[in-house]
Structure 1
Amino acid sequence: MEFRALLIGACLGALLAASATAGENSAADVIEHFGLQQDETPVKDRKGWRKPKRILLAGIAAQAGPALQSAAPGVEFIQAGTPEARAKLASIDAAIGVCSADLLSAAKSIQWIQLVTAGVENCVSVPAIRERNILVTNMQRITGPIIAEHAIAMMLAFTRGLHLFIPAQRRGEWAPGLRAGRMAVVEGKTLLVVGLGGIGTEVAKRAHALGMKVTATRASGRTGPDFVSYVGLPDELHKLASEADFIVNTAPLTPETKGIFNAELFGKMKPTAYLINVARGGSVVTSDLIAALESNKIAGAALDVTDPEPLPAGHPLWKAPNVIITPHISSSSDLGQDAQLQVVGENVRRYVAGDRMLSVVDVTRGY
């Protein structure tokens, strides 16, 4: 996790420098395009807020500081891992790109953490976040369209037999019989989105465009866009799963969603149905999934995330029937990270000014 944060940070640093001269409306464009939400209350009204003097940049290249400086004149940006950071850690007011128990134990003054990913479970589970009422913001919605495309690609790979034909190609086999009589179309099929948030809505939009019936669950209520025919509450998951041809998990990992894809749920699914997981591996009981695949209780599973992760060599999932595995890369694309950079810069500006912050995490809910 730390390595991934450093890697993302390095990319952010390079791109921040490249986009330092971007148009002044870029942040506004990102907010409008992705439908980013701003908090109802100005951050200056939060207990403990003060104009920051020092902000820690974890893993972000040295040139990132100057690029952010225009958004926060007078603020000192410090690179994590340097002697300067170690000497000044106790006086850090905010951190970008890192959240850990060790950091918060040493940096008692931190009041805001900006994550550069959408997932927040490893951050909000740190007791100090709640105990000190630390503000957490993330990248919700930013990678939704990209992850949605990945989920749809996985679904179509199954329906068109690519998971069978690609290995046959490597073996040099012309094997039309691999899917004889089993090639499928998605038009008219039912897709269930579990967790109708930013990512889930993007999946639903694309599935509807393919002529699918889309249903969903969400914890916050029954409202949803017109292209979702029915939005149920979490306690309706099993009923909706029994009616679905494809189930796409886009729910955040919380105590309520941990292990929800288990033997009981797999027993409710159609034997012709597929599970696609682009959220978190912890939502699936892996041993139950393997058993369901091996006993043909479900038709297959496409996994961008696993539990454990990374999936170790020799793990049964590698050889389980009808499985597609990608290594937690569903948010990767050729678009770069300019949108993330705009959010980081805009939230730095807003925090320093005491304005309403973007993409505030509900620490109690865990997303």
Structure 2
Amino acid sequence: MKCRWLVAAACASVLLGTSLEAAESSAANVIERYDLQEADTPVKERKGWRKPKRILVGGMASRLGAELKAAAPDVEFIAAGTPEAKAKIASIDAVFGFCDADTLSAGKSIQWIQMVTAGVENCVSLPAIKERNILVTNMQRIAGPIIAEHVIAMTMALARGLDVYIPAQAQGQWIPRLPPGRATTVDGKTMLVVGLGGIGSEVAKRAHALGMKVTATRNSGRSGPDFVSYVGLSDELPKLAAEADFVVNTAPLTPQTKGMFNAAFFGKMKPTAYFINIARGGSVVTSDLVDALNNKTIAGAALDVTDPEPLPAGHPLWKAPNLILTPHVSADSDLGSGAQLAVVRENLKRYSAGDKMLSVVDVTRGY
């Protein structure tokens, strides 16, 4: 499940409000299934680490606090927003489920933030995170397979013109065929994955299985799985975009990626190519995308994220041609929150024991 219009604390309640007994059978299974990365060094080697005594928990019910206590019996769990939280904020060691400037300012002892989403740009941008060397862990990779299916659904919908046929059905219109060149196949086409991380790799795997040639970019180097034919660095993005039939953004939002998909970028794409964004709306200059669609600079687009978000009534994107919009739901599924719960519980055990943590955010890089 992905948090959208809920505040962070309420989001934590939704994600973590299920009994821990509903978690996947073991942390080991989750680590293997999602290829979760373990820190190179034990957390006890971090300056300022100490075994936690009090953890502030956003939006969780008291029942869940009791279950978390079973994983760390010596820890006192305090619900955010309560008089108790206000009274004890100065002695809080860690925060689960949210990250904000006011909490960090009042909680001078906070050493660890456990997020329950993958996106952490609003957290790592807070000066206190770097200044105090606060550890941030998140849910990277957990939603990758689900989001990848959403990308493939968008890819097939654009290729087969479902963005035209479904609205026509709602209006009772029979459209015998699409304009020439609008209906395409994906077999043999090229998909460029921008940001070959956990989500990007899952997208690439599925695109390759459909017979697509997959290229990608990443900042960390040129290595990649066998099903990606070429991995380029970020400065190769314009060249690779010009060769692609589908461009998929799976990159995190950082100062380097903000507004990277602009008029110049869309101008590099083929007029028959499609743009898909399931990462962050802020990576796109929205007005430039609207112009690219209206002017047929590109063939179409599919967006699960927008800037602004939620998209307000009357915004030009609503009327842009050849566009599929979903309301930031690409991580929604019927799988429940078992994997997320397992990560929280496992990281709680590891932090308390001073062991190597899972899914540590590189605060400098922003993801």
Query: Is this a same-fold pair by TM over 0.5?
Result: yes
Q: Is the 8 A contact 1:13 1:62 kept in 2?
A: no
The one-letter code of the counterpart of 2:125 is S
Task: Give the distance between the partners of 2:225 and 2:188, measured in 1 at CA.
Answer: 19
Q: Say how many residue pairs are matched.
A: 364
Kindly state the Cα deviation for residue 69 of structure 1 after the two structures are TM-superposed: 1.0
The 1:321/1:187 distance shift into structure 2, 3 A limit, reads same
Q: Is the 8 A contact 1:12 1:60 kept in 2?
A: no
Q: Bigger shift: 9-18 or 154-163?
A: 9-18
Match of 2:40 in 1: 40
Match of 1:288 in 2: 288
Task: Give the distance between the partners of 1:180 and 1:271, measured in 2 at CA.
Answer: 14
Q: Please state if 1:54 is matched with 2:54.
A: yes
Kindly state the Cα deviation for residue 178 of structure 1 after the two structures are TM-superposed: 3.4
Kindly state the Cα deviation for residue 313 of structure 1 after the two structures are TM-superposed: 0.7
* Unpaired runs of at least 5, structure 2: none
Kindly state the Cα deviation for residue 19 of structure 1 after the two structures are TM-superposed: 2.9
Kindly state the Cα deviation for residue 2 of structure 1 after the two structures are TM-superposed: 7.9
The 1:183/1:137 distance shift into structure 2, 3 A limit, reads same
Q: Is the 8 A contact 1:6 1:58 kept in 2?
A: yes
SS at 2:47 equivalent: coil
SS at 1:348 equivalent: helix
Match of 1:123 in 2: 123
Task: Give the distance between the partners of 2:7 and 2:139, measured in 1 at CA.
Answer: 15
- The equivalent position to 2:8 in structure 1, one of 5, 10, 33, is 5
Match of 1:316 in 2: 316
TM-score (norm 2): 0.97
The two structures, once aligned, show a CA RMSD in angstroms of 1.3
Task: Give the distance between the partners of 2:193 and 2:180, measured in 1 at CA.
Answer: 29
Q: Which has the higher contact order (CA 8 A, sep 6+)?
A: 2
The 1:320/1:2 distance shift into structure 2, 3 A limit, reads closer
Deviations 1:159-209 (A, max 9, x none): 111100111111111212335653211000000000000000000000000
The 1:234/1:335 distance shift into structure 2, 3 A limit, reads same
Task: Give the distance between the partners of 1:5 and 1:111, measured in 2 at CA.
Answer: 19
TM-score (norm 1): 0.97
Q: Bigger shift: 320-329 or 197-206?
A: 320-329
Q: Is the 8 A contact 2:16 2:337 kept in 1?
A: no
Q: Is the 8 A contact 2:20 2:342 kept in 1?
A: no
Kindly state the Cα deviation for residue 6 of structure 1 after the two structures are TM-superposed: 3.1
Match of 1:16 in 2: 19
Kindly state the Cα deviation for residue 12 of structure 1 after the two structures are TM-superposed: 3.0
Q: Is the 8 A contact 1:43 1:354 kept in 2?
A: yes
Q: Is the 8 A contact 1:9 1:61 kept in 2?
A: no
Q: Is the 8 A contact 2:224 2:231 kept in 1?
A: yes
Task: Give the distance between the partners of 1:276 and 1:4, measured in 2 at CA.
Answer: 26
Q: Is the 8 A contact 1:191 1:212 kept in 2?
A: yes
Identity %: 72
Kindly state the Cα deviation for residue 134 of structure 1 after the two structures are TM-superposed: 0.1
Match of 2:228 in 1: 228
SS at 2:13 equivalent: helix
Alignment of 1:261-340 (within 5 A): 261-340=261-340
